Chain A
Amino acid sequence: MGRLEMRGASLELLSRGSGRPVLFLHAEEAFEQNLPFLERLAKKYRVIVPRHPGFGGSALPPEFRTVADLALLYLDLLDELELKDPILVGSSFGGWIATEMCVYSPERIARLVLVGSLGVKLGGREDRDFADIYFMPHEELRRRLYADPERWSPDFSKLSEADLQIAGRDRQSMAYFGWRPYMHNPLLRKWMHRVRMPTLLVWGEQDGFVSPAYAKSLAAALPQAELCTIAKAGHFPQIEQLEETVGVVESFIRS
């Protein structure tokens, strides 16, 4: 993994393959479990994966406060790496960052793939669009995130001490950006029309963090989005159903 110094942020950066650029924005947990998905994409595309400030080995500059900071950082990253017509793929928290990037600079993004993404609140004030992941039993959270948690969920009791510290810090950093308003930016909903590039929503049928019903509403709120639900997958279909997810993403990029 390489490192890139940008705007006061020291970023870990994974870069694989060649071809059309794909910027993958990772979720709040289970980074390592995404590697098979990323290796598959790298067979056809140039895949670029920054670890978000505050996650993995990337530093969090104290002046970074909101997801807008991350979205603007990655728009600068597109310029810095001279990525032309990039495809943005964002999972969960990464989908939130990707959505903000598209709202701010729709002309810079060719296509958008959102996998179980956060960031846009569509329901009313008494509706909970995103499950309250910090206030529930551990086992319930694992069941909400994974269709088969025994097989796919990170087991914090078996991680090395170093990896456990990273998982703990990732958890804190997600809360730092997503505590209040909870997992969304209230501004985004009214600017959904700016997310005008072809968009694919990929959703696990058993996603218990952000429901497939929400995904339908999000697809309806976006100018040209199609929704693809994946059976036997929770919040991270790219982990639990690798082949099918790679298939739908590649087919969308080609179309």
Chain B
Amino acid sequence: MKVWHFSEMAYHPGWDQLGHSLRNSIPSRVADPKIVADLLNRYLDEWALCDELGINIMVNEHHASATCLDAVCTVPLAILARETKKVRLLCLGMPIANRYDAVRVAEEYSMIDVISRGRVEMGFVKGSPLEIAPANSSPVDLMERFWEAHDLILKAMTTQDGPFNWEGKFFHYRQVNVWPRPYQAPHPPVWITCGSQGTATVVAEKGYVIGVLNTGYTRTPGIFNAYRKRAAELGRAAAPDRFAYMALIGVGATKEEGYRRAHQIADYSRTTPRANGWDFDPPGYNPLPLSTKIMASAAAKGPGVSVFPVERRDGTRVDVTKATVDEFIDAGLVFAGTPDMVYDQMKEFYDHVGGFGHLLMMGQGGYISHAETVANLKLFSKEVLPRLSDLG
């Protein structure tokens, strides 16, 4: 089991002032660059500490958001390539259907892979619907563009014989020639995030690692099983290292301490609905049956339709804006408490979903302080991490 520490680098000091939306339409004057500088450097320090703790590193990116100051995922990745020496560096990931220059993606990943001497894990993501407005990326043919970008990036990273031609539907180059080529051969491992069984089936055909975020207790088994089923049909074993699960983790010397940390980190989940309703359903992004439900609900001035539903084990819906740590634990999004409790919750979840080889640990989120984050990571590294070798 590999563990990866993940933070969205939130600008929580602006949350109260910003009110109902933390994304896309919010004015940047709200964020004080001096406070942003302190926060970004602090979050980087927490990742750098992971090198000593044996916890790998995961970064991501969002745009125009007070929940995530990381607008360029390869910037922290590049810094950490120098600041760390041992752990692996995962970007989950690069929204390649929203990038107009796919070759540049290949160049960024290759350079960081070389600087880190082969420690990059290369994530490609569809990105959330909230990413459509900042990128002005056409949502209707997003996945078609995603797969063309994927094909081009991998060809660009693995071609060692000089320029090649690419005149596709979305990307046009006549002289693709990436220098330097990546350190790892033929290229860094590929990860793709999945929210549906359909995508899991496609990713299984490629044999990549699938990462699931916020799918919880009820939806994760179906996604992992779809991957396993397709891999088996193709005569391949789907080893645990093909599966990554993200959980918010608060660990403490006492249950209360662990819960207190998890409670603060869980503001990551509680803030997910805080955006303008229209940003969740750009036309063509969501499957048509979901999109039409959202249209009908908006017309009826209804309560809105969650694009990211979180469910308890009994299948009932959790109101993530108000959920307690216990409710999040029930939903499978949080593991919290003493090291024993965290291990037991993880073990139960692990068995429930048929195993996974990567724990994407959100060890920082929301208002949790630097000191508390460091304590959380250190205690996890000392008391939980050694026991995870029992699990795949």
Contacts and interface: CB of A to CB of B under 8 A. Distances in A.
Interface in A172-209: 172-176, 179-180
Given A134-B278, A172-B140, A175-B140, 20 more contacts: A135-B24, A135-B279, A136-B278, A156-B292, A157-B300, A157-B302, A164-B296, A165-B292, A168-B288, A168-B295, A171-B283, A173-B140, A174-B283, A175-B282, A175-B283, A175-B284, A176-B284, A179-B138, A179-B139, A180-B138
B225 interface: no
A171 B292 CA distance: 10
B305 to A, nearest CB: 12
B299 A175 contact: no
Given A174-B283, A175-B138, A176-B138, A169 B288 contact: yes
Contact size range, A:
20 to 34
Given A167-B292, A175-B139, A175-B283, A138 B298 contact: yes
A176 B141 CA distance: 7
A173 B284 CA distance: 8
A172 B283 contact: yes
A65 B141 CA distance: 10
Contacts of A65: 169
3 nearest A-B residue pairs (beta carbon): A157-B300, A156-B299, A175-B283
Interface string A106-144: 000000000000000000000000000011111100000
Contacts of A165: 288-289, 292
Interface of B: 24, 133, 136-141, 169, 276-279, 282-284, 288-289, 291-292, 295-302
Contacts of A176: 138, 140-141, 284
B283 A138 contact: no
Nearest to B141: A176
A168 B283 CA distance: 8
A26 to B, nearest CB: 17
Contacts, number: 71
A155 interface: yes
Nearest to B277: A137
Given A134-B278, A135-B278, A156 B296 contact: yes
B136 A155 contact: no
Contacts of B288: 165, 168-169, 172
A168 B291 contact: yes
A157 B296 contact: yes
A168 B281 CA distance: 11
B295 A171 contact: yes
- Of B137, B288, B297, most buried by chain A (CB within 10 Å of CB) is B288
A169 B99 CA distance: 26
B121 to A, nearest CB: 31
Nearest to B291: A168
Q: Which of B133, B276, B291, B302 lies at the interface centre, i.e. has the most chain A CB atoms within 10 A of its CB?
A: B291
A92 B139 CA distance: 21
A156 B298 contact: yes
Contacts of A134: 278, 282-283
A136 B298 CA distance: 12
Given A167-B292, A172-B284, A155 B138 contact: no
A32 B371 CA distance: 63
Contacts of B282: 134, 175
Nearest to B295: A156
Contacts of B138: 175-176, 179-180
Contacts of B141: 176
A241 B292 CA distance: 29
Contacts of A155: 299
Contacts of A135: 24, 133, 276, 278-279
Contacts of B137: 180
Contacts of A138: 277-278, 298-299
Contacts of A179: 136, 138-140
